Amino acid sequence: MPSTMEDIRAERTESHFQEKVGAYNRWKSELSEAIRSCQQWLQEHHLDTPELDLRIFDILEALRSDRLTVAFVAEFSRGKSELINAIFFSDYKRRLLPSAAGRTTMCPTELFFDDQSEQDYIRLLPIETRLENTSIAEYKRDLAAWKTLYLDSASPDAMEESLSEVIKTKMVPVEEAERLGLINKEELSQQNEQPTEVEIPLWRHALISFHHPLLMQGLSILDTPGLNALGSEPELTLSMIPSAQAVLFLLAADTGVTRSDMEMWHQHISRHNKSLKLGLMAALNKIDVLWDEMKTNEQVDHSIEEQRQSAAKQLNIDPGRVFPISAQKALVAKSKGDAELLGESGIAVLENHLADVILPTKQHIIWDSIVGDITFALENIHNSVQSRFEQAHGELEQLQTMVGKNVDVFQQMMNKTRQQQAVYLKDVENFQTSHRRIVHQSKIILNTLSPESIDKLIAETRKHMVNSWTTVGLKKEMTLFFDSVQDTLQIVSRQIEQTHDLVMSIFQKFHEEHGFPQLSAKPFPLSKYNEELQKVSQDAEAFRTSKATTLYEQSFVVKKFFISLVSHVRNQFITAHKEVEAWLKEMVNPLVRQIKENRTRIEQQLKTLTKINDSRTNLESKIGELEKQCAGLQAEMNGLDALREALNKTKPADPATVDNEAEAEAEAST
């Protein structure tokens, strides 16, 4: 067995999944480089805008910090940590994460690589922080709240010992466990013996960062404890699990699909099926318990397939997304280099699904979102440049026909241009009225979504809940809060739609009457916030009607409601406020710039005609200037076309095609 990390790294051979993660990471680098090249070209040709520069900065930062998150969810003793070891850390040839019998992860654990830290570490959030009015997300910004242990990455033994912290527990009085919201006396009273102390996790949450090829390339792993932990930490199901690109739900062949499995599936997992798209799957672990030397291979395979079909039916998912595996045998096989045992473990089919379906799906979503935004901006810029080209080319043709003409012709043209200027200035004056209306509506929208607005609603709700004398009154205030939030979003939705329609009508008017480019503005995607609110509302309803809300003390219920549910709504409002503000600027500013440019162009045209009228030598000079200008604008349009083509070359394969091929391969191997 290798004794040091250096020995382990020397023996590593890349799996198919590792190869795909590496390719995915290289693709992100190529996409980032294409976007940077696009930004540099726009800046060199003075076609960039502050709004677009800020958007590109945000995009590049998002690509840099992007992670592929795989969440492992299951009841206790289903083999989550063993499976994580088998898929991601088998090259250590030992159980890096504790997963022996009776030793299971007691707190939610995130594994990733922190490129901002020089040392590998494990950060542990004390369980006592559950008494505070602070969410895990907020605690992540307060390093002082965590116990930090630096990992000795040169020693596998030291790493294993440090990581064993995630399974540690302690005995506390029943009253303390109840204050922490980990038990309630009513349920405890139903037991035959009434303990004075109970065992609870030592830590509330764990963050583990260390140098590992997959983690360094952007892989992030979320290991969650059982049903009780998910129920007591709604933040997991509200934000952490839904934000994962893949959620792997583990079942065990030795227990079958239990009632607690189904409870966890329905309450915390299946409702994310739509948002996770191709990323929701299940693994039927411990199939080695079905291996029987008294049966033929065909009979064993038939038993496994029956369990697989049964599990798929109970979970109401496609059987192709249920993977029969033995995590323990897979880890042993990889550690010993046993190809036959590795094949029997079934792990390769699951790994290939992660590599050939989940990664391409995430890749496609990123490309569609990022390149879609940039392409939309380039389209507007191209239309603007094309409009300037057509105007310059039209002016050029007009001047070319005036060579050798008398003074009257120039005078007529000047009079016509002045008339156009008068009409244009009249429309610009009307636009100012509309623009003031847009600014006014924008202020209303931003005020409605402002942190101050949501904080006021939160404060009123908290006051009424604290002063409520009954559980019924408490639950009623919860419902009223989400009703108010829903009403707010409906109001904002109407205001956003009206503002968008007004801007589009102005675009169209200036396009038809003054030859402006066919500018367009993307509608704001408020629907994603409505969908998120619906999910939080469902969680709130489950919390409101749960037995715990009735049994726990009022102060704890109020605290948990605000930390886990209300804080999530507040974060959504803050994000929406920021995105709506940027959207409003991006939508209106192109038109404002176009109006200024057109006014300058008309004024310049009048000056040119005056000069030509005074001296015919200015005519040839102006024709030369316009010819040069047209050539430059044509080159810019060609350059913009080349930028779009370069971005399109980074487009990944259609995930639907990849998914079909992967499922066919999985069926064949099964």
Q: What is the 3-state secondary structure (H, E, C) of 150-216?
A: ECCCCCHHHHHHHHHHHHCEEEEEHHHHHHCCCCCHHHHCCCCCCCCEEEEECEEEEEEECCCHHHH
* pLDDT of 218: 85
Per-residue pLDDT averaged across 521-527, rounded? 83
The mean pLDDT value of the chain amounts to 81
Q: What is the pLDDT of residue 242?
A: 77
Residue 656 clears pLDDT 80, i.e. is over it: no
pLDDT number for residue 617: 65
CB 248, CB 130: distance < 8 Å: no
Closest by CA position to 265, among listed 304, 305, 237:
237
What pLDDT, on a 0 to 100 scale, did the predictor assign at position 10?
A: 38
Pick the closest to residue 575 from 263, 97, 137, 233 (CA basis): 137
Alpha-carbon gap, residue 442 to 447, rounded angstroms: 8
* CA atoms 31, 35, 36, 40: torsion sign: positive
- Tell me how crowded residue 546 is: count the other CB atoms within 10 A of its CB: 14
What pLDDT shows up at residue 185? Answer: 62
Instruction: Give me the residue label for tokens 């300037």.
Output: 388
Q: Transcribe 19-40 into DSSP letters.
A: HHHHHHHHHHHHHHHHHHHHHH
Burial of 494 (0-12, 13-18, 19+ CB in 10 A): exposed
Residue 37's pLDDT is what? 92
Model pLDDT for residues 483-495, shown as the tens digit of each residue? 898 899 899 999 9
Of 97-106, 417-426, 497-506, 586-595, the poorest mean pLDDT is in: 97-106
Query: What CA–CA distance (Å, rounded) separates 296 from 189?
Result: 50
CA separation for the pair 566, 555 (Å, rounded): 15
Element (H, E) at 542: helix 527-545
Give the whole-number percent of the chain exceeding pLDDT 90: 15
With a cut of 60, say whether residue 12 has pLDDT above it: no
Token pair in block for residue 275: 């948002």
Query: So what's the pLDDT on residue 631?
Result: 94
Least confident piece of the model among 146-150, 392-396, 417-421, 491-495: 417-421
Please determine, for residue 408, whether its predicted confidence score (pLDDT) is greater than 50: yes
Dihedral angle computed from the Cα positions of residues 472, 473, 477 and 479, in that order, rounded to the nearest 10 degrees: 30
Helices and strands (DSSP H and E) totals, the chain: 27, 11
410 has pLDDT over 90: no
The pLDDT confidence band at residue 13, using thresholds 50, 70 and 90, is very low
Alpha-helical (H) ranges within 277-404 are 297-315, 327-336, 339-345, 347-353, 359-400
The yes-or-no verdict on residue 3 having pLDDT over 50 is no
Residue 641 has what pLDDT? Answer: 92
Distance in angstroms (rounded) separating the CA atoms of residues 168 and 85:
19
Residue 11's pLDDT band, with cuts at 50, 70 and 90, is very low
Eight-class DSSP state of 142: -
| Phi and psi angles of residue 106, each rounded to the nearest 5 degrees, phi first | -100, -15
As a whole number of angstroms, the distance between CA 155 and CA 161 comes to: 10
pLDDT band, residue 554 (cuts 50/70/90):
low
What secondary structure, in 3-state letters, does 498-514 show?
HHHHHHHHHHHHHHHHH
Distances (CA, A) of 8 to 21, 164, 214, 216, 339: 20, 20, 14, 16, 19
Closest CA to 431 of 506, 517, 512, 521: 506
Q: Answer for the pair 146, 123: CB distance below 8 angstroms, yes or no.
A: yes
Rounded to whole angstroms, the maximal C-alpha distance in the chain is 113
pLDDT digits (tens, 9 = 90+) for 575-622: 899 989 888 888 877 777 777 877 877 777 777 777 666 666 677 788
- Exposure of 51 in the CB half-sphere (CA atoms within 13 A): 18
Neighbours of 64 (CB within 10 A): 12
pLDDT of residue 190: 63
- List Cα–Cα distances, 368 to 68, 245, 353, 578, in angstroms: 17, 15, 21, 22
Section 450-461 average pLDDT:
89
**Contact, 320 vs 353, CB < 8 A?**
no
* Percent share of the chain, pLDDT over 70: 85
Strand pairing category for 246-252 and 219-223: unpaired
Q: What is the pLDDT of residue 101?
A: 53
Using only the alpha carbons of the chain, give its radius of gyration. Answer: 32
pLDDT computed for residue 614 by the predictor: 63
Q: What is the pLDDT of residues 66-112, one digit of tens each?
A: 888 888 888 877 888 888 888 887 777 777 777 655 556 678 889 99
Q: Is the pLDDT assigned to residue 146 strictly greater than 90?
A: yes
For residue 269, what are its two tokens? Answer: 């997992």
pLDDT exceeds 80 at position 173: yes
DSSP for 389-403, please give it: HHHHHHHHHHHHTTT
Lowest mean pLDDT segment, chosen from 81-85, 258-262, 310-314, 427-431: 427-431
Alpha-carbon distance of 616 to 624, in angstroms, equals 14
pLDDT of residue 50: 83
- Report the distance separating Cα 103 and Cα 125, nearest Å: 20
> 561-590: string of b/e by CB count within 10 Å (b at 16+)?
bbbbbbbbbbbbbeebbebbeebbbbbbeb
The mean-pLDDT minimum among 37-46, 101-110, 132-141, 578-587 falls in 101-110
DSSP per residue, 39-93: HHHHHHTT---HHHHHHHHHHHHHHHH--EEEEEE-STTS-HHHHHHHHHSGGGS
Nearest to 476 by CA among 487, 464, 488: 464
Q: Is the pLDDT of residue 552 over 50?
A: yes
**Which residue would you say has higher pLDDT here, 467 or 542?**
467
More confident residue, 400 or 61: 61
Q: Is 149 exposed, middle or buried (0-12, 13-18, 19+ CB in 10 A)?
A: middle
Q: How far apart are the first and last CA of the chain?
A: 33
Low-confidence winner among 87-96, 303-312, 362-371 (lowest mean pLDDT):
87-96
For 183-242, how does the pLDDT look when each residue is reduced to its tens digit (9 = 90+)?
766 666 666 677 788 888 899 999 999 888 888 888 888 988 776 665 567 677 667 787
Which of 171-175, 359-363, 539-543, 562-566 shows the lowest per-residue confidence on average (mean pLDDT)? 539-543
Amino acid code (one letter) for 515 = G
CA pair distance 206, 84, nearest whole angstrom: 16
CA distance 86 to 331: 4
- Cα separation, 276 vs 274, whole angstroms: 6
User: 285 and 258 in contact (C-beta within 8 Å)?
Assistant: no
Residue 529, judged by CB atoms within 10 A of its CB (0-12, 13-18, 19+), counts as buried
Tens of pLDDT along 242-282? Answer: 778 888 999 988 888 888 888 888 877 876 655 554 578 89
| pLDDT score at 33 | 92
Dihedral (CA of 624, 630, 633, 638) sign: negative
